[in-house]
Amino acid sequence: MTPQKRALLVGSPYKGLDGPKNDVDIMARVLGAQGFQIIRCLGQAATRDGIRKCWEELIVNTTDPSDTVVIYYSGHGGLLESPQNVDVGAQGPARKISRQYQFIVPADFDLTTADDFRGLLDVEISYLLRDITKNTHNVTIILDCCHAGRMARDPSYGDEARPRNIEVQQRDISEQVRRLRRDDEFQGEAHLEGNPHVVRIAASATTESAWEYKNSQGEWVGAMTEALARALEEAADHEVTWRTTLLRVAEMVNLQFPQQHPRVEGPDTRVHFSLDQLVRGAHPIRMEGDAAVIQAGRVAGIRDDSIYAVMPSGSEKPDPGSQIAEAVVISINGFRAFVELNYTGSAESIPKEGALAFPVYEAFYRWPVAFPDELPKLGEAIENSKYLRHRDIDEDVDALAEFRLANHEISLLNHHGVQLASQGWNGDETDTVSMIKMVRSAEKLARAQHLLSLSCETPEEALDHNLDLQLALVSDGKPGRRVHNDGADHINEGDRVCLILQNNGDSTIYVSVFNINVAGKISLVSNSNPHGIRLVPGSSYTIGKEQFGDSHRGLGMRWPNGVPKTHPVEERLVCILSNLEVDLRHLNSEQRLSAGRSGQSKLEMLTYGIAFGDGRDATCDSLDSGLEYDILHFSFLLCPNGTV
């Protein structure tokens, strides 16, 4: 029997989402080109029962271990806490705890009653995945939705972007789970820590929003779906792993929505829609004539000046004892990286059958920018920057910023068209001072973009906390109107604000707060506590309040230098939380101190890279510093001259 490739594509337009239909069309085009039979469950047909029926039919029709299956969902996601009684036996009376359930939101979710929850729960999805992997292990699930996202609108897009999450009040769905078990929906056991046979792709982390937005063609699409489709089309004729692909997807999404971090779990070293796996972190390298070429490029996360250890095929990690050469990237395109080889030991060449290149030093990521051909000296300054590179129209979906030349003036605009800086230019090509000033403005924006995109990279370093943030206007020396963290609430130029931090968790945490304006200026707001504001369980701290009195002076809101006062602009607060003291003053645009660089945590390595444009030792991913951290965002609009 010929192996079959089937893809179930579900699009639920609940609560007025416009993107799911377009998302399904996009994925149908991409997967159809790779030979998948497309099964659609779309619109009002994407009810709870409709989704389950299509999925169960997919299970029945998947009969060969060589079959390939994709399940894709576009729509709202939700998260709820369900109180449950837990019997602790002789230790005391039963006590109530809360269990979190994630769920996808079918088209008939409004029909939910006290006895009939119409969301499709994560526990149900786990059993459906278990049943399909009894028939084939080649399964990929892709969820373009979010859970518990904090924002209701992205300030960069206004009404042309919205999150894919819904708010659900706490409810007891334990009876629903028991009913499903009674109906034999949950026979046997599912995989507690995730099905090891399923590649699981999520549009965002549990506490983040996944966005749909109106793209340049005027169509509503999921940001992750659009990026994933491009990455899959780019890689169609190449052996690329899911881990590499999601690095590329995150890079594209972060340009537009830096607070959204797509991720992959499960067997992420698999090649797309295959059971074949590549060695984690390694890329094939072989000679092409006289040139040594790593068979991967920019879309695989390889960067100029990165260094790789060349090892014999079959190696699982770098080993100085058997290393063939050190390879330095000197030229790069989408899927190939040309390297300069420095042979080690007695080695004189790469074997004819090729070898493997393992990352040893990862160069700092440089954001793509566009510039006019009339300014070649500006192009040279960009090329010499640690933070910027020329935009490649064949590989880069968008540019972080664009330089424009008009009326004897060079201006810098972000990718939303907001002018961030300008500099007069008399047409003199030797006027490198003007060029350097403009590049410095773009570098400031790039540093801010790196900080906005920062997230905890490993579960081992993820901080478990319960910090509540409240931003309020100061009126008559007291907190007044609360500013909502929905991306659409506004503060006027000249207003004064205070930030209230409340630790509702059971562990001591340290909080560093930064303000990032639209031009990329990073300011340390919590500057009186350079190692982080210490919050013991149950305590609070108000930034903008006299700490030995009751008066609130507040922090003044200033308009960004060089930005015209024509429209409201976005401002963001970034709170970096940790379980240990960390000095992050080096991130401050005005200081960028280099003192104290002896830290050995991943967070310290990442933030020093942001501050100074440095790469990192790729062999130190499992640093054991004991530091755990998380990053929270608070976004709002800053309006000029008191106008909304």
Does the pLDDT at position 149 exceed 50?
Answer: no
Does the pLDDT at position 23 exceed 80?
Answer: yes
Structure tokens at 535: 């919050």
Mean pLDDT in residue range 461-474:
93
Mean pLDDT in residue range 353-379:
92
Q: Which residue has better confidence, 217 or 432? A: 217
507-520 pLDDT, tens digit per residue, is 999 999 999 999 99
Please compute, for residue 356, the number of CA atoms within 13 A of its CA located in the half-sphere on the CB side: 18
Query: Shortest CA distance to 77 belongs to which of 18, 120, 26, 39?
Result: 120
Does the pLDDT at position 88 exceed 50?
Answer: no
Does the pLDDT at position 78 exceed 60?
Answer: yes
Does the pLDDT at position 174 exceed 80?
Answer: no
Query: Shortest CA distance to 166 belongs to which of 77, 272, 43?
Result: 77
pLDDT at 310: 96
Does the pLDDT at position 192 exceed 70?
Answer: no
- pLDDT band at residue 173 under the 50/70/90 scheme: low
∠ CA 397-400-401 to the nearest 5 degrees? 120
Q: State residue 64 phi and psi, 5-degree precision.
A: -110, 135
Helix, strand, coil share of the chain (percent; to 5):
20, 30, 45
pLDDT at 600: 59
Distances (CA, A) of 208 to 134, 157, 260: 32, 17, 6
Does the pLDDT at position 178 exceed 90?
Answer: no
- The mean pLDDT value of the chain amounts to 86
Mean pLDDT in residue range 389-406:
89
| Domains of the chain from N-terminus onward | 5-265 (3.40.50.1460), 283-362 (2.40.10), 367-445 (no CATH), 459-642 (2.60.40.10)
Does the pLDDT at position 378 exceed 80?
Answer: yes
pLDDT at 394: 79
- pLDDT band at residue 596 under the 50/70/90 scheme: very low
Query: Shortest CA distance to 260 belongs to which of 144, 372, 170?
Result: 144
pLDDT at 434: 84
List alpha helices for 353-493, DSSP H.
Answer: 376-383, 432-453
Instruction: Say how far apart CA 438 and CA 202 lie, in whole Å.
Output: 38
Instruction: Say how far apart CA 238 and CA 232 lie, in whole Å.
Output: 10
Structure tokens at 429: 């090509």
**Partner residues linked to 121 by β-bridges:** 103
Instruction: Say how far apart CA 51 and CA 18 lie, in whole Å.
Output: 19
Full-model pTM: 0.81
Instruction: Say how far apart CA 212 and CA 301 lie, in whole Å.
Output: 25
Pick from 96-100, 292-296, 333-337: least confident = 96-100
Does the pLDDT at position 152 exceed 50?
Answer: no
Please compute, for residue 314, the number of CA atoms within 13 A of its CA located in the half-sphere on the CB side: 4
Q: Which residue has better confidence, 442 or 238? A: 442
Pick from 121-125, 339-343, 454-458, 555-559: least confident = 454-458
DSSP for residue 360: E
Does the pLDDT at position 9 exceed 60?
Answer: yes
Does the pLDDT at position 543 exceed 70?
Answer: yes
Q: What percent of the chain has pLDDT over 70?
A: 86
The side-by-side arrangement of strands in the sheet containing 198-202 is 37-42, 5-11, 68-74, 139-144, 198-202, 263-265
Mean pLDDT in residue range 33-51:
96
Torsional class of 215: left (φ above 0), alpha (ψ -120 to 50), beta (otherwise) = beta
Does the pLDDT at position 295 exceed 80?
Answer: yes
**DSSP string covering 166-196, please?**
--------HHHHHHHHHTTSS-S---TT--T
Q: Which residue has better confidence, 445 or 78? A: 445
Which residue matches tokens 């031009």?
A: 519
Does the pLDDT at position 506 exceed 90?
Answer: yes
Query: Shortest CA distance to 69 belongs to which of 56, 79, 80?
Result: 56
DSSP for residue 463: P
Structure tokens at 136: 């084939």
pLDDT at 621: 52
